[in-house]
Amino acid sequence: MADTLTVTDNRTGKSYELPIQDGTIKAMDLRQIKTGPDDFGLMTYDPAFMNTANCRSRITYIDGDKGILLYRGYPIEQLAEHSDYLETAYLILYGELPTDGQLQSWRREITLHTMLHENVKKFMDGFQYDAHPMGILLSTVGALSTVNRDAKNIFDKTTRMRQILRLIAKVPSIAAYAYRHSIGRPYNNPDNDLSFTGNFLNMLFKMTELKYKPHPVLERALDVLFILHADHEQNCSTTTMRTIGSSQADPYSAFAGAAAALYGPLHGGANEAVLRMLTEIGSLNHVPDFIAKVKSGEAGSRLMGFGHRVYKSYDPRAKQIKKIADMVFEVTGKNPLLDIALELERIALQDDYFVKRKLYPNVDFYSGLIYQAMGFPTEMFPVLFAIPRTVGWMAQWEEMLLDPDQKIARPRQIYLGSEARDYVARDQRK
Ligand code: ACO
């Protein structure tokens, strides 16, 4: 059986044999299909990249029909059970689980980069007291390119790795500072005795105590949430990271773009939108009315935290998150909105509208409930997504940079505007 595709162009009667590799044909192979010498050649039309592979990647694998998610081949369930965020981050970046020695030096290096330059704190001070922390995060990280001027040197391996370490280590510090700024409290310096996640909690919540002690259950729960959010192949924000990176911009500028993409309510902003939705529903007896509103498509309303471009079965991350919710609620007490969420899920999973469209809870459906129970304000939710996704963006960015197949990202269009016409003087316009 030949690995080729034979295409007959019925406009000309000509046939073409196109190679098939890894279940794809090259879009550029279609260009030879022309009706005549002046024809540009055939293109594909694929808004939102519904069926276009943009790269070859070795980082994350998703089988959306079976609900499988692997980082570098390791199932997400096993990593959530046995690993921690920094070990998983190492795996995502380097492709293999670290040895003991490698892990120790990796932790040390990240820890050494957690402090922020005093100037960075100054420009963060300039934000309005009620600025959204995601807006603060993405602009501040973008501004780091002015502080780390060596970041432009993207093809030097050592320099590149230095920026990656800085980003993984400093994003939590910026996130925590953004939060403290919004509540008018002084910044907490990083505590390098604590774990990556423990220190993040310290920078957020430490008050007058001499040493902050994170609650071990909450620390572990947040760490597992970080594992679950570390990468997710070619989603909207990762594609943005790769696209900006393809112009050879520095990683801080590209990160700012990726974080902006994540901010939207159809992507990482969905966890914030879920909480607002649950609060608006307010009580169990309003759930059927809300479902009816979603089904009627009234004012574009959607069941936030449901549905996914790739998963057409239960999101494996959502399954893990439900387990973490139990763990957290034992410590914090149950989030009163949980019952509404469970009822929404129960109804949606048996309602024809959702079943037919294969709409299941995604990663964002339950995560907000946990964050809220842990004391995070709703506006911090997308920020809590961006922190662990930093390593995914970095790994994908580096893979793109080193891939000889990649060039500056530049799609084509189908032009539907006016034909060429002459400029009309202002006094002759109708
Ligand atoms: N509620 C109600 N209906 C929905 C939902 C939803 N959450 N999601 C999809 N649908 C419907 C659409 O209206 C459409 O119906 P139609 O065929 O009758 O027109 C059908 O299901 C297919 O939906 P699309 O919008 O074509 O699916 P797409 O793959 O483009 O969108 C997305 C995926 C953006 C995630 C969508 O499901 C959605 O908006 N979900 C809510 C927001 C959300 O939770 N986002 C987080 C995603 S996970 C993440 O980014 C981390």
| Residue 117 and residue 188 in one domain | yes
Q: Is 253 in the pocket of ligand 1 (CB under 6 A)?
A: no
Distance 12 CA to ligand 1 centre (A): 40
Evaluate whether residue 367 is within a structural domain: yes
Confidence (pLDDT) at 297 = 85
Q: Does residue 308 sit in the same domain as residue 226?
A: no
- Residue 414 inside a domain? The answer is no
Q: In percent, how much of the chain has pLDDT > 90? A: 94
Residue 412 in domain? no
User: Tell me: the pLDDT tens digits for 69-125?
Assistant: 999 999 999 999 999 999 999 999 999 999 999 999 999 999 999 999 999 999 999
Say what angle helices 216-228 and 316-332 make with each other, to 10 degrees. 160
Other CB atoms within 10 A of residue 328 CB: 24
Mean pLDDT score across all residues of the chain: 95
Same domain for 106 and 131?
yes
Sheet containing 60-63: which strands, arranged edge to edge? 60-63, 68-71, 74-75
Q: Is residue 369 part of a domain?
A: yes
Angle between helix axes 381-401 and 216-228 (nearest 10 degrees) is 40
- Which residues contact residue 402 at a Cβ distance below 8 angstroms, ignoring those fewer than 6 apart? none
In this structure, the answer to whether residues 168 and 183 fall within a common structural domain is: yes
pTM value is: 0.94
Q: What is the pLDDT of residues 332-346, one digit of tens each?
A: 999 889 999 999 999
Give 308 Cα–ligand 1 centroid separation in angstroms: 6
Atom 3 of ligand 1: nearest residue by CA position:
302
pLDDT-derived band at 182, boundaries 50, 70, 90:
confident
Residue 367 and residue 396 in one domain: no
Residue 208 lies in a domain: yes
Determine, yes or no, domain membership for 96.
yes
User: Is residue 67 a contact partner of residue 316, using CB atoms and an 8 Å limit?
Assistant: yes
Q: Name the DSSP class of 47.
A: G
State whether 383 and 350 are in the same domain: no
Q: Is 385 in the pocket of ligand 1 (CB under 6 A)?
A: no
pLDDT in tens, 189-238: 999 999 999 999 999 999 999 999 999 999 999 999 999 999 999 999 99
Please, which pLDDT band fits residue 301 given cuts at 50, 70 and 90? confident
Q: What is the mean pLDDT of residues 37-48?
A: 97
225 lies in the same domain as 124: yes
- Whether residues 224 and 343 share a domain: the answer is no
Enter the tokens of residue 103: 């892990």
Length of the chain: 430
Residues 358 and 382 in one domain: no
Please tell me the number of Cα atoms within 13 Å of 198 on its side-chain side.
15
Please report the pLDDT score of residue 299 as a whole number: 67
Selection from 17, 307, 351, 175 nearest residue 190 by Cα: 175
Q: Is 136 in the pocket of ligand 1 (CB under 6 A)?
A: no
**Is 363 found in the same domain as 254?**
no
Please identify every residue annotated as catalytic. Answer: 267, 308, 364
- Ligand 1, atom 46, residue with closest C-alpha: 267
Domain total in the chain? 2
Probe target for ligand 1 pocket from 51, 262, 290, 302, with the most ligand atoms within 8 Å of CB: 302
Protein residue with its CA nearest to atom 26 in ligand 1: 309
* Residue 318 Cβ < 6 Å to ligand 1: no
Tokens of 104: 């120790």
In a domain, 25, yes or no: no
Q: How far apart are CA 190 and CA 174, in angstroms?
A: 11
**Nearest atom, ligand 1, residue 297 CA:** 13
Q: Is 293 in the pocket of ligand 1 (CB under 6 A)?
A: no
CATH of the domain at 187: 1.10.580.10
The parent domain of residue 204 ranges over 72-264+378-400
Q: Are the C-beta atoms of residues 54 and 235 closer than 8 Å to each other? A: no
Q: Residue 190 gets which letter from DSSP?
A: P
Tell me how far apart the alpha carbons of residues 210 and 8 are, in angstroms, rounded to a whole number.
75
249 plus 391 within the same structural domain: yes
Q: Are residues 274 and 355 in the same domain?
A: yes
- Which residue's C-alpha comes closest to atom 21 of ligand 1? 357
CA distances from 82 to 69, 195, 344 (A): 16, 16, 31
